[in-house]
Amino acid sequence: MLGGCRRALPAALGRALRGRAAGQGGRAVSTSWCPVGTAFDVKQQQQQPLRGGAAGRDTGLFGVPELSCPEGFQEAQDKALQESEQLVQKACSTPPGPETVMIFDQLSDSLCRVADLADFVKVAHPDFAFREAAEEACRNIGTVVEKLNTDVELCQSLRRLLTDETVLSSLDPETRRVAELFMFDFEISGIHLDEEKRKKAVELNVRILDLCNEFLIGTHIPNKIDKHVLPEHIRYNFTAEGNYLRIAGLHADCPDDLVREAAYKIFLHSNTQQLARLEELLASRNSLAQLVGYDTFAHRALQGTMAKNPETVRQFLEKLSEQLSKRTQKDFEMMTKMKMKLNPHNSMLMPWDHPYYSGVLRAERYNIDPGLYCPFFSLGACMEGLNSLFSQLLGISLYAEQTKRGEIWSEDVRKLAVVHETEGLLGYIYCDFFQRPDKPHQDCHFTVRGGRLKENGEYQLPVVVLMLSLPNSARGAPTLLSPGMMENLFHEMGHAMHSMLGRTRYQHVTGTRCATDFAEVPSILMEYFANDYRVVNQFARHYKTGQPLPKNMVSRLCESKKVCAAADMQLQVFYAVLDQIYHGKHPLKKSTTEILKETQEKVYGLPYVPNTAWQLRFSHLVGYGAKYYSYLMSRAVASMVWKQCFAQNPFDRAMGERYRREMLAYGGGKEPMLMVQGMLQKSPSVEDFVDALVSDLDHDFETFIMDS
């Protein structure tokens, strides 16, 4: 993970007015479905193509009729805003009771159905006109949401419910929690302020949305440099544009030290405009937090999470850093020795060396060549492996379903129906797996439509998109995944299962709409399954010979990941600490770059490189502001769940059902720590989190014996 910038779980616009619902599925297996592996295997796909999408009128993106053309976003937006106006009036005139919460959830759903869909389209659609229309819809819906969050009359209708003890005591736990979450959204938006300050809060929120978009775009813009500045023998590594070279990344895997150094210094060179955006974003977030009554933005952001407050996060990161210290130092010493061995004239370990030399050490110690593994991980086989795992663990099957014309945005997108053995159809996953021009190179899960129990008693099925960046297959051969790609696929499918199985009554708390430090638990847990030989052995077959992947190759791969893993984790601690400082007390004592330098040398241990500003490429400051620690805390919980519940038998159906019942079913409809407690039968402490992460770094004794 470079800069922690993969596996993002994008925050949906309209998050402040969101919801979830519960109910039953109930649809027999359709004759238009085909086995999931077939849909992703190129050879079989050519022999047995998916049907549909050939003729007739366009149905519109995701089956939304208005979205057969970019202009349809305006129509969908107007329809949602008109519906929301009616629901606001209804909420304000309805006597306090369960119906009040249902109306609020309908309001959330009417806005999120457009905003969430647009949130995906604006980054992933190949047509610029669609992306532009979606961006405008996101902004417009987001502005309306911020205004609704400071609507006094709307808030009063909810307050009447929450202050009526008789009515409140009659609500079931989920309805009560959702009502409290809606009130929390009002409070953090400044509903208690006078009219002038409420207006200021709305303006700040809208400005923050704009700054987030601008900063995010800036994190990906390449830097250019006169090609004559670089030695001639390394210029070919970069894209030439006339007399300039275009540097679009860190080239972290390049074996030439000079190429990595040049890429690091040029790509991360400070940019005045991006620096100003970041400073204004951090200052605006702090102003908003203080305006609505919080000491810092971090205090506001961490309400309702597992950590609950910045003090707990700081304690967690400090204890983890302390435990990692000696291990990290040993890792750096090993990398330094390797650098001296390969480059005696320049042996000082620098930040651009860490990803490369840790990889060299892994390959040397365990003879790991990704090319040896790829033939065993065809995409079709991996999808069948997931299908088999979900079937045994949760009683769920994945089927490829034909799409209608205009329903998908690229011909290589596949639509999967998620079907439970007794409950029927649970929802849909659109798989946008392959690289294409202008598509972001990141792996993400997007909620397009949340599940909820509709007014007529039917269940609104959830719809999500999984976006990966897999290479297109060679002609006549299936798409082959590296071990890292396979693990990423399992990770993102963990998010998807959370969305499918969070069968909540209210859309506001559907699936992954939960605390950020809990949302990553199901996806990281899937990584443990992806690294277990008993699971891998069920699907990893050589695509030509059918030979199974040897057990010792899986063992070596898993153990290789522990080489320099302490230093890798310490890097994540550094990012998380930096995030906390940026969103802590303001005004900041120093510039963001000076804070970066100080924190890097204190927490990470490798020297700061003058004139660089890595924080300007830290895209997670947008979606994970003050919550970047979530990856580490979620991994700690996932580790505990794996070791206690699945390590003995990864196909244990009873544990699978318990996992669904205790952790997946609620979405965000239950306190996150209570869900963890239900699964583990205890409430873990900060020390438990740290111990779980550190114990994962220990080598497996059996593998060491085997290797010797």
Task: State the Cα–Cα distance between residues 301 and 63, nearest whole angstrom.
Answer: 35
Identify whether the C-beta of residue 485 lies closer than 8 Å to the C-beta of residue 468.
Answer: yes
Contact of 5 with 96, CB cutoff 8 Å? no
Q: What are the angstrom distances between the C-alpha of 683 and each of 417, 677, 696?
A: 36, 5, 20
Task: Give the C-alpha separation, 705 to 200, whole Å.
Answer: 65
Q: Which token pair is 201?
A: 């809060």
Residue 550 sits at φ, ψ, to 5 deg, of -60, 145
- How far apart are alpha carbons 185 and 422 in whole angstroms? 37
- Residue 492 is a catalytic residue: yes
SS3 assignment, position 240: strand
Residue 687 has which token pair? 């020390």
Contacts of 248 (CB under 8 A, 6+ apart): 222, 239, 267
Single out the catalytic residue among 146, 492, 520, 559.
Answer: 492
Nearest to 495 by CA among 4, 8, 5: 8
Q: What are phi and psi of 198, to 5 degrees?
A: -65, -40
Q: Give the gyration radius of the chain's Cα atoms.
A: 25
User: Rounded to whole angstroms, how far apart are CA atoms 379 and 182?
Assistant: 41
Helices (H) and strands (E) counted in the chain, each on its own, are: 29, 13
Are 494 and 526 spatial neighbours (Cβ–Cβ below 8 Å)? yes
Cβ proximity of 453 and 520 under 8 Å: no
- Annotated catalytic residues are 492
